[in-house]
Every structure is written in structure tokens, then in C-alpha cells.
Structure 1
Amino acid sequence: MKDFISYEPIFVWVMLLCFVSCGGNDTTRISQALFCAEHQKADSALVLLNQINRANLSKEDQAKFSLVYTLAQDKSGIDIYSDSLIGIASGWFKDHPTDTLYARCEYYMGKYYLLNDSVEKAIGCLENSWKAAHASKNYNLECMALEKMSKIYRLSDPEKALKLANLAVALFPKSTGQPMANKVYLLLNQCECLSYVESISKVIRRGQGVLSMARAFTDSAVVSDVYQDLSVFYKIMGENDSSYNSALKAYQWGRTSSVSRKLSLAEALIDVDSIEQASKILQTVKATDTKEKYTLFYLLSSIAFKNNNLISAKNLTDSTYYYLETTYEEAAKSTNNYYLASVQMEKDRHSMQERANRNCWLLILAIVILTGMLVAILFYFDSKKKRNKMEKELNEKRLRLEIDNRDKQLEAMRIYIKGKVDVAKKITD
């Protein structure tokens, strides 16, 4: 038994190897991707996440994977128009509100609802995010949640919207690691909220101050966005020329291939009755998504009305309504596809998990069988060794007995011969 126990470490090592082989390092990759996304390395985060097989993840890792992927996409400038990822994360984090990522998940779920016009749901998620971020002193996330909430309340409760926007601006100095461009956007949001409460002239003066701050950063994209907002403010005030100049500056500072900038500039040109120039701008627009096509046809129809081309205006208006309806249809279809994809993904995940478990158990069974065979072979050779040793001892014992018997026979013979010699000697004497 002593020899058998000495082989137990081999058995334990093999079993540990088996269990380790059934695991992986996907959880570590998710953590690394989260670190990259939070430190402005969204592309690196996406590369790490794309190496992960989601079907093999646990529910917790599925949720964290979906959240981190959404975070990385958001940092890359991709808006959350689909809840195919963040919906999975939200389903798990709602049951785990004490998790450190809960506040972030609620923020992105609220952002999704905000982009898809589900205002009540967006408010609920963003308030949860705000409270959780405030409790954990996550000032960055708190600013983001306040900014999104202020956008929602602009029409229904302008005073509250302005209060939330002011809180976000006041919290910015406490946040860490945020680029100054974020402060510009918080100030722009403050101006937009202020436009519902104060006079538009006061808003424009404040917006010009924000413009000076943005131009000091020499970030053309930020400057373009500020000019874009100023163009809207001037339009509200009725100063179409200033609105056009700001839209032109936004176009010049921004990327010339930007569809949104071209559409905004064309709209400003229409407002100042520069119909021919607006038409030239719109001819260069290559709208890709439904919303851009809707805006394009709306502006084209406006031009047709100004030119008294009623037949063309009617046809363009029909196209405008078509793309408007298509936008709502795509949103409904996206939601339906998400639920179908979620159900199918859950089925696939269970199937893959069962297959992985089965393969794991088969591997364990094979290792147990091989280990048993190894133990049996070792036991056989050990028993054979003991038998050989026993046979050798028996042979040696038998040999010693034979030698002892011969020695006794020789001793008896010697005594007998000696007696004969003594008798012969006496006879001779």
C-alpha cells in the first residue's frame, strides 16, 4: 500500500489539469478590455473582445462582455441605436444593483432609450445611474447622466433641465481623466437648456464664450459643433444671416464629407433664400441611413415649394413621408430582431454550454480511465515484483535447508567413518 500511495500526486495532478482545461481566460480579457475602453483605447478593447467566444461565457460574463462592448463602441463614436448588447447587460445588472458596473449599465441603457424615443424608460435608467454614481463618487459618470437627463427635461420641465445641466457643469472639476472637450459639450448643453428659460440673446452671448474656449483647444470637431449650435440659436432668434454664417463655419471647421454638416448648411442657405447654392450642396450629399434621407428629401421638397414646382414638391414630400415611416418601421424591426436574436443566442449558448460540459466530462472520464489503467499497471508490476521477491526468498530458504541437510548427512557420515576407523585400529592393535 505504501508504494500505491506514492503515485497519488500523479493522479491529483492529472485531475487538476483536467479541470483547468475546462476553463479559460475570457474573464481576464473582459477586464482588460474595460481598462482599455476607459483609457481612450476603444479599438484595443474591441480587438480583445472580438477574441472571446460569447457562447462559452457565464451569465455574469455575458453581461459584462455586452456592457464593455457597448462602452467601447460608444467611445469609438458609435451610437447605441440597438439594444442587442446593452439589453443583455441590463437584464443581469438589474438583479445585481450592488455591482460596480451597475451605474454604467443603467447609463447606457438610458442612452439607448433616449436615442429611440422611449423617454420614460430613459429617465428611469438615467436616474438609477445618477444615484448609483453619486453613491460611489463616480463624478465622470454622474456628469454624463445629468447631461442626458437635462436633455430629456428640456421640453417638459425646462427649469429642472437647466438645474441638472448646471449640476453637471459644477461637477466637472471633480471628475478625473476627462478631456476638456467634454467641458465644452457640457457648457453647450447648458446653453441649450438656458434657451428654454432665458432670452435667446443671452444664450448666444454665452455660446460665443463657449466658442472662444473651444477655439483655444484647436479641436476642429469641437469648434464645428459649437458653430452648429450657434447656427440653431441664431435661427431661433430670427437672424438667418448669422445662422447661415455659423452653419458655414461649422461646415468649414468640420469634415467636408460630413453629411449632417452639409444638410445643416443647405437648410441655412434655404432660410436666406440662396436656393441655387442649397441645391448644389444637396447634390453632393450621399445619404446612407434613413434619417439622413428623410432630411435630404425634406430640404429638397422645401426648395421645390420655394420654386413653385408643386408636382416635384408633392413627389418629394411623398418620399419624405416614406422615409419617415421607414424610420419607425426600422426601429420596430430592430426591436423585434433583437428579441428573436436574444432567444436564439440563449438557445445557442445553452447548446454550446451543454456540448462544452459534455466534452469536459468525457475528457474527465477518459483521464479517469487512463489513470485507472495506469494505477492497474503499476499495481500489477508492484504485485509481480513482490511475488518475485517472495519466490526468491522461498528458493533461498529451500536452498539453505538442503545445505543444512547435507551438512548433517556429512557430519553423520564423518562420525560413522570415524567409528569404523576406531574399530579397525583396535582390531589391528
Structure 2
Amino acid sequence: MSALPPGALNGLKVLDLTRVLAGPTCTQMLGDLGAEVIKIERPGAGDDTRGFAPPYVPNTRESAYFVGVNRNKKSVTLDIAKPEGQAVIHKLLGECDILVENFKVGALAKYGLGWGELKDKYPRLIYCSITGFGQTGPYAPRPGYDALIQAMGGVMSITGEIEGEPQKVGVPVADLFSGLYGCIGILAAVNHRHATGQGQRIDIGMLDTSVAWLANQASNFIATGENPKRLGNQHPNIVPYQVFPTQDGYIVLSVGNDPTFERFCKLTGQEALLQDERFATNAARVGNRQLVTDTLTPVMKSRTTKDWVAALEAAKIGCGPINTLKDVFADPQVQARGVIVEMDHASGERVQVIANPVRLSATPPSYRSAAPVLGQHTEEVLAGLGMGAAEIAKLRADGIA
């Protein structure tokens, strides 16, 4: 048998009781880094995202959504609401290092699978829970959904046009950040266990993480007590750092400091602005935001986006076109970084997935198996627990597996 490819988490085994996006994002990252991930799914139904289609992966009936966040996992169908299913989970826990779940608070305790029920029996277990509002507080029992968390976490209030309605981000960032914060917590817990031999509980609340990544906007509020206003595509602390119309479209101009603004003015023939106190410093430009925008808009409209990108890049001034996804995947930088990976799928088709962006020199992410079809590894995993064919067949017949 060939050796496993190098992986930072080789040898770790993850019991994955997650579905949809936040949890699967966390466990896919662990799988990419070498961990063995066993995904438990409902018999006959599976992860909700198997039904989030169309679109389907070409020439299959597999949801593109599911395939995108479930590679490097083994699918085992198991009804954990039944005692027989719970017994199998306990057999798996005897071999697993990490459990990741995103059930509502208290749901797994009903099956004897909550942290309180498991921590003494499996003292080395790292148990990560990802929920909408965390395990404590008045909102803990509530379900969490990405758009709901974006609304309650504040990001929608600062996203959108100045006079428009609040806007959510175009991808489910509350889910994604929660999954990644969960992975960070797990990695810290793994290191702690190396030192002490003890597992621990990781409590990830989507609302907590959403507040955490408000970043400079949260810091601005704490410093002033004033709610940040929506600025469309402008930056709250830097001007000009925004979208401008060009002769044939739009461009993002990112002038991050005063020396860059000086280069910009010399490039565009606007040297006179450097002698105007309303433009001379970033603080002045922030205070005169609309004047700066109105002054530079006709300048930016004088050339095409392509011409501006070439000229600005040559002057080492931050800029970029506003790409469609078709443009993104055709971009030479994106292609050079190999962001699309092809994998063999159980359907017999080759599927394309987005590469893991973490580039490790010694233990790079690996792409061992595409997202599984429902229950693809049930027999393999159960047999690995010492269960015979007749026992597995009975679980199947009883609707447990």
C-alpha cells in the first residue's frame, strides 16, 4: 500500500456530525490537511445541501453546492436518533480524536451525544460545536442562518449604497467564517492535547464570529460611539479607496497613503491638488470625501479600465478591474495559482473544486477523494469497526444505516 501524502493532520480522525455550510467548511479544511473525516448522514436524505440544486455537477445528479464543501470525507449513513445508531457512534468515538457538530443547542444531548455526556467517557476528545448563537446566552436555543446572522451581526447595516437599503454580502460569509474559526479552535485544542493529553470543548457562535470580523468598523464604533454609515464601495478610513467609473466600465482605486496619492496626482496631471489643504492628507480627504469623489470622477472617466490598470500598476498604485466569475477563472494570476482542482468522483465523472488556499511548504493540502455519494463508505467504515456483514445488513434492513 502506498503511503499517504504528507499532511499536517495525518493520523487524526474526525467524526463529522455537520451539515449545510459552516460545519462542512470546518471539516473539509481538516480533511484537506490530512485528517480522516467520517461524515454521518441521514439514511435516504443525507446532508441538506445534497438537495440544494440545480446546478448539478455536469453529467451527474450531485449538487454543486454539496460537492464544493465535502471533499476528503467518507459518507456513512446512520440514524443517530435510534439506540443502534448511537451505539455505532460510540464505537466510532473510541477511535476518533475530534467531533464536529452543528446541531441546535441541546439536540445531541437527547441522544446521549452532547459534550456533557461524552467528556468523561472520552477525556481526549476534542468536541467542536458550531451554532448560531453559541451554547450560552438568551439566544442560545435559536436556530442560526447566514442572512439572519449577517443582519444581527451588523455587517448588513454597513453594506450597501449610501441611500439604499442594507445589503448582505454576496456569499454566506457568516457560515464560512464560523467554519474557519472552528477549525482554528480545533487546531489550538489539538496542540493543547499534545501537551496535556486532555481534550476540550470548542463553542463557536456565528453571531460571535460575525462581530469579531467587523474589524475596523467595530473599532471605529468603539472609539466614537457612532454607528458607521453605509458608504457603498468607499472605505471608511481611507480616501480615495473606492469604485470609480471609467470610460468603458468601472475600476477599484486603492490609494492607501499620502505618498501614493502624490504619485496618483502626478500620473493624472492633478498636481494642483497636492497644494490644496482639502486633499493634502488622508485625514483631510476623509473629511472632504464627496469633494474628492466629485473631483476625481471625471478624471477616471477619461480612460478605459484596461488603460487605467496598466498605467496605475506601472506607478505602483493599487487598482483592479471588477471581475465577473468568468473573468476571475480566466485571470492569469488565478490560473497560475491552480485554484481549480479536478478529482475523480464515484459517479465516474471528473469534478472540479476550488483548491484549498493554505499553501504549506512541507505538508500541503491534499485532494484524496471527491465529495462522496450518499452512504458511499458505510460498509467500509462499519466493517472497520469490526462489524460483520450480517450485522451491517441488519442495520440496513432496520433503516439504521
Relative to the length of structure 2, the TM-score reads 0.27
Larger relative strand fraction: 2
Q: Which has the higher contact order (CA 8 A, sep 6+)?
A: 2
User: Radius of gyration: which is bigger?
Assistant: 1
Larger relative helix fraction: 1
Relative to the length of structure 1, the TM-score reads 0.25
